[in-house]
Amino acid sequence: MKTVLLLGSNSDVGQACAATFAKNGADIILASRTAADFQSRLAADIAIRYDVKTETVSFDALAYDSHQSFYDDLPTKPDVVISVFGILGDQDLATKDFAEAQKIIDTNFTGQVSILNIVANDMEAKGAGTIICVSSVAGERGRKSNYFYGAAKAALTAFLSGLRARLAMSNVQAITVIPGFINTKMIQGLETPKLLTATSQQVANGIWKAYRKKKNTVYVLPIWRWIMLIIKSIPEFIFKKMNL
Ligand SMILES: NC(=O)c1ccc[n+]([C@@H]2O[C@H](COP(=O)([O-])OP(=O)(O)OC[C@H]3O[C@@H](n4cnc5c(N)ncnc54)[C@H](OP(=O)(O)O)[C@@H]3O)[C@@H](O)[C@H]2O)c1
């Protein structure tokens, strides 16, 4: 592995991934839609701390028309792409205002499809590469508290599964990361059980391990695999009455 492209590098998980992969010798391209100053400082810090090359580039997941030129103009084509962008959105607002529903779906799903398709085509042509994308346990069963976000993540998980199968013969890995709660700004203010909540660094470590071991799907905290197995097996007539 030489160069890692981080899509959504301003995310807490993205920053932890950047440091973890740099620590293991990768050059890092940080791609984010905002916080240019912060990204430049982060890039400088990583470059000095781990003695690797870093770059910052501007990337907006919703600017689909810019994705091909964004990828074509990268200073170096990545060997590994880690995609961590996403929004939780406002579930209540989304029930009343389609614009919010669309933003949740487009950011968490359509934007991922748009950019990862371009990455996949390039890696397939080269016959090498790894795509790592963060989905969510929310995509495993629609819950009334966040089913717009959950639906987008379900679609993303299905997309990644198909992509993985398509690329398998081309020596390209596609890894799906399925975290439960992560202690980041995305769920700031939400009380979550400590045992079920990962830190960004735990997610980054899980991603590094999954990359090294060429895993297909990882849950980060293994307990979530069992929790979701139980949640998925609850009959509809009970699930409908549950406050999840
Ligand atoms: N936190 C959790 O409990 C949890 C659980 C399961 C899965 N996840 C997933 O984990 C991933 C990382 O999230 P996180 O927890 O690290 O939260 P985060 O810190 O809020 O990171 C999300 C990032 O997505 C970026 N983003 C949003 N819209 C974008 C757009 N249109 N173009 C480019 N970037 C955009 C945000 O950019 P700005 O910084 O510019 O706003 C932000 O940096 C996400 O895919 C999330 O869905 C999180």
Contacts of residue 66, defined as CB under 8 A and 6 or more positions apart, other chains included, come to: 60
CATH code, domain carrying 192: 3.40.50.720
Ligand 1 atom nearest to 33, measured from its CA: 33
187 in any annotated domain: yes
The overall pTM is greater than 0.85? yes
244 in any annotated domain: no
Pocket test for ligand 1, best of 87, 103, 146 (most atoms within 8 A of CB): 87
Domain of 8, in residue numbers: 3-239
153 in any annotated domain: yes
**Residues 202-211 pLDDT 10s:** 999 999 999 9
Domain count across the chain: 1
CA distance 174 to 81: 10
Neighbours of 4 (CB within 10 A): 26
Task: Tell me which residue has its CA closest to atom 20 in ligand 1.
Answer: 186
Contacts of residue 212, defined as CB under 8 A and 6 or more positions apart, other chains included, come to: none
The alpha carbon of 89 and the centre of ligand 1 are apart by a number of angstroms equal to 10
Return the residue matching tokens 């939780």.
Answer: 88
Task: Tell me which residue has its CA closest to atom 1 in ligand 1.
Answer: 182
Contacts of residue 83, defined as CB under 8 A and 6 or more positions apart, other chains included, come to: 7, 8, 112, 115, 116, 131, 132, 133, 134
Q: Please report the pLDDT score of residue 211 as a whole number.
A: 98
**Residues 117-150 pLDDT 10s:** 999 999 999 999 999 999 999 999 999 999 999 9
Judge whether 163 and 116 are in contact, CB under 8 Å.
Answer: yes
